[in-house]
Amino acid sequence: MSPGLGIDPKMLLLTQYAYEFSAFCTSVLAYDSNGTIIHGRNLDFAFAPAMRNVTYEAVFQRDG
């Protein structure tokens, strides 16, 4: 991620730790009747608009 953003990896890691210690986001883990795991996380902090541009949304699948 750091090469794509043009940021030193150490600075990116430091930023991640600063985020983790200062943001109190709500995270929800659940699974449905088929056993599919669902993870949702709210961006409930003051700088959410800036983070939306660098937040990665993914869908992970196993065995198809």
Q: Which of 1, 11, 14, 25 is catalytic?
A: 25
Cβ atoms of 24 and 35 within 8 Å: the answer is no
Q: Please confirm, yes or no, whether 25 is among the known catalytic residues.
A: yes
Give me the amino acid identity at 32. Answer: D
Catalytic residues: 25
